Amino acid sequence: MSRRRGIMSDKLKEEIAKELGFYDVVQHEGWGGIKSRDAGNMVKRAIEIAQQQLTQRQ
């Protein structure tokens, strides 16, 4: 069984988790320990960052 590669790098995920204040949970419990709300906020923030980068390139 193959495993899908993630779109976000581990570094980016860690930076966003730190910014949103739940990185301590990731350190102690892993990514499976975060709340679904935190995961959703992390995706939302990643999209915002990507949109900002696209805007700056144009």
Domain boundaries, the chain: 10-57
Query: What band does 58 get if pLDDT is binned at 50, 70 and 90?
Result: confident
Share of the chain above pLDDT 70, in %: 91
The reported pTM is 0.81
Rounding to the nearest 10 degrees, give the CA dihedral for residues 20, 24, 42, 9. 120
User: Which residue is it, tokens 């923030």?
Assistant: 45
Residue 26 half-sphere exposure, CB side, CA atoms within 13 Å? 18
Residue 24: other Cβ atoms inside 10 A: 10
Residue 21: other Cβ atoms inside 10 A: 10
